Amino acid sequence: MKPSILVARAVFPQILTLLEQHFDVTSNQDDVVWSPAQLIAQLQGKQGAFTTGSQRIDAELLKACPDLKICANMAVGYNNFDLDAMTAAGVLATNTPDVLTETTADFGFALMMATARRMAESEHFLRAGLWNSWRYDMFAGSDVHGSTLGILGMGRIGQAIAKRGAHGFGMKVIYHNRSRLDAALEAACGAAYVSKSDLLQQADHLILVLPYSPEAHHAIGAAELAQMKPTATLINIARGGIVDDAALAAALKQGTIAAAGLDVYEGEPKVHPDLLTVPNVVLTPHIASATMPTRMAMAQLAADNLIGYLVHGKPLTPLNPQVVKA
């Protein structure tokens, strides 16, 4: 008998076809956003789950779903998983590293450029029919080339952004991370390690690329924003909750920093109402990894993890490999 799996959100039809070759598949192609209780009900009798960032897998769910053996997240971030609870329950967790690195770095760079050069704000102005003449300071923003790029969180995506800045745009790149990169990697990225306060004080453009964890909650709040240059931009492509969105909206209103570009939000898909009313912020709906080839590669890797583990006993990108029996 084939193992049973749940695909918790809509996915590429080709991926469903692949999964159906190996599993009895229940899928959510209507893309209903289930409540935790509905998710538990859907997972009854399932050995595997294909998840996205919007399904919380915690101790309560695991207790109610004793057949579950693996949750394969179609995301590199896995703050929707309580990894300790999954390990304790013997449930394997997998994510999708590497396949989205360059696409996400491209987007981080694009959001930084759009923010620094006020592209969204000026487009709204044009669409509103307000463009009547040229003016010397109309939508004058800040330069990206030759400026100082600060990166908080220097994993794969942070490193890919550093390379774009240092080698493509002649930027001085500084970073802060829990652990310092080795010298060879720093040289390859063209990046120098600094303290968090030096990062805040020196960056012209500060990009957040760190994973969410309770310690990272509000890593950027009013006190941190106050340390930044009044001409600086802040870009968040990491996770909602790393920035205190209310404090950021206040800082943007008061001119504490010049502008922000956000792809992720506290409590998304809701967006803090104050952010919607300030002009100097570019807002996108969590699309940093959203190109068709990359989303396909993410879905393929999540599917391959399910097949690898439930069919062959060998997942590709396990987060808690201690769960896999030797």
User: Which residues are known catalytic residues?
Assistant: 239, 268, 286
Specify whether the CB–CB gap between 31 and 8 falls below 8 A.
no
Residue closer to ligand 8YV (CB basis): 100 or 174: 100
d(CA 191, CA 225): 22
Chain positions contacting ligand 8YV, by CB under 6 A? 52-53, 74-77, 100, 289
Paired tokens of 21: 């070759």
Extract the runs of DSSP E, i.e. beta strands, from the chain.
Answer: 4-7, 24-27, 48-51, 70-73, 92-94, 148-152, 172-176, 191-193, 205-208, 233-236, 259-262, 281-283
Q: How near is the Cβ of 4 to ligand 8YV at its closest, in Å?
A: 22
Residue closer to ligand 8YV (CB basis): 19 or 252: 19
Residue closer to ligand 8YV (CB basis): 53 or 141: 53
Residue closer to ligand 8YV (CB basis): 76 or 303: 76
Residue closer to ligand 8YV (CB basis): 76 or 160: 76
Residue closer to ligand 8YV (CB basis): 77 or 315: 77
Distance of CA 217 to the CA centre of its chain: 14
Q: How near is the Cβ of 33 to ligand 8YV at its closest, in Å?
A: 12
Paired tokens of 308: 């690898």
d(CA 43, CA 66): 9
d(CA 291, CA 295): 6
d(CA 19, CA 24): 8
Q: How near is the Cβ of 53 to ligand 8YV at its closest, in Å?
A: 3
Total count of residues recorded for the chain = 326
Question: How many CA within 13 A on the CB side of residue 230?
Answer: 4
Which residue of the chain is nearest ligand 8YV when measured via CB? 77
Q: How near is the Cβ of 103 to ligand 8YV at its closest, in Å?
A: 9
What is the helix (H) or strand (E) element at residue 305, kind and residue range?
helix 292-310
Q: How near is the Cβ of 176 to ligand 8YV at its closest, in Å?
A: 20
Q: How near is the Cβ of 223 to ligand 8YV at its closest, in Å?
A: 26
d(CA 71, CA 92): 6
Residue closer to ligand 8YV (CB basis): 42 or 289: 289
Strand, helix or coil at 32?
A: coil
Paired tokens of 169: 């745009």
Q: How near is the Cβ of 76 to ligand 8YV at its closest, in Å?
A: 4
Paired tokens of 307: 């097949």
DSSP 252-274: HHHTSSSEEEES--TTTTS--HH
